[in-house]
Amino acid sequence: MNRLARFAGFGRHEAPPEEAPHPVDVVVERMDAQELREPIIEAIRGVYDPEIPINIYDLGLIYTIDISDNGDVAIDMTLTAPSCPVAGMMPLMVKDAVAAVEGVGEVAVELVWDPPWGQDQMSDEAKLQLGML
C-alpha cells in the first residue's frame, strides 16, 4: 500500500483476506443438435412475410437448417421473388427469431436463389390457408 492510501485510511477497517474459494465444477447441460431443431422451426414459424399471411417456414422459404454440436445454426433461405420489398429485413428477422431460442449459439442466415422458390415448396397447411387445395 502506498503512503497516500495509508494517509487516506484505505484498508484500516478491512477484514482479513479470506482464503481463495475452492473451484466449483459447474455442469452445463448441452442440448443435442436434433433437440434444437423443433424449437428453431417453431421460432421460424413466428416470422411472417408481410405481404402473405403465412409464416415463412410453411411458405417453403427455408431451405436448410444446419445445427452444429456447439449450438451454432446456419440457415439457407430464399424469398418468393428477388425483388421482394423485405429482402433486406427477412434474413434479419429469421436470425433474431432463431437467436432467441435457448441453447442456440451463433446464427448465420444466407439468402440463396438456387433453386428458385415455387408454390410446390409450400406446406399443405399454407396451400389450404391460401385456398390452393
Strand partners, 60: none
Dump pLDDT digits (tens) for 60-110: 999 999 999 999 999 999 998 888 888 889 999 999 999 999 999 999 999
Which residue has better confidence, 39 or 17?
39
The secondary structure element, H or E, covering residue 7 is helix 3-8
- Here the cell at position 112 is 440463396
Distance (Å, whole) CA 108 – CA 94: 9
Q: Is the peptide bond before 115 cis (omega within 30 degrees of 0)?
A: yes
The predicted-structure confidence for 105-128, as pLDDT tens digits, reads as follows: 999 999 999 999 999 999 999 999
The model's pTM is: 0.73
Is 90 exceeded by the pLDDT of residue 23?
no
